[in-house]
Amino acid sequence: MTTRTLSIKKRGFSFEVFMWAFTRFTVIAMYGLILAGILGALSLSAQTGANFGDILYWAFFPNMAENPLGQVWMVILAKLMVIAFVMTACGHGVHGVLEIWDDYVTSESARRWARNIVITYAILASIVAIYIILSA
């Protein structure tokens, strides 16, 4: 099998090319955040004596669990990382869901509506998550 690659110039610049690149970059960011999050939570659990699982649970559900971290900088860092993860996951998911939808739904208006609904949902869900994580 021979390798077939197309330069960025020949690919042109359309919504699909932009979303393909966006999906790749967001997934790389997610892998980085997962790795940094696990290492950070392990480091914090070693420093504070808090349980690793408790730290991750509080980080994702700060309004439902007691804060196991003492220092303010740890709290701010953990919240920023969770917000970054939620936003990249949301951005990554939008393109995936629309790609699957486009493969099974053939009507142009249904595709347009799905695009508007999913992007609006992703923005609203991100805003809700950011608000709750920051305010808890």
**Which residues contact other proteins (rule: CB under 8 A)?**
1, 3, 5, 16, 24, 27-28, 31, 60-61, 63-64, 89-90, 93, 96-97, 100, 102-104, 106-108, 125, 128-129, 132-133
DSSP category for residue 12: -
Quick one: 63 or 73, whose CB is closer to other proteins? 63
CB atoms within 10 A of CB 67: 15
Residue 41: exposure state from Cβ atoms within 10 A (0-12, 13-18, ≥19) = buried
HSE-up of residue 40 (Cα within 13 Å, Cβ side): 20
Quick one: 70 or 124, whose CB is closer to other proteins? 124
Q: Nearest approach, Cβ of 81 to other proteins (angstroms)?
A: 16
Q: Nearest approach, Cβ of 27 to other proteins (angstroms)?
A: 6
Q: Nearest approach, Cβ of 96 to other proteins (angstroms)?
A: 4
Quick one: 1 or 72, whose CB is closer to other proteins? 1
Quick one: 66 or 108, whose CB is closer to other proteins? 108
Measure CA 91 to chain center: 6
Q: Nearest approach, Cβ of 110 to other proteins (angstroms)?
A: 11
Residue 18: exposure state from Cβ atoms within 10 A (0-12, 13-18, ≥19) = exposed
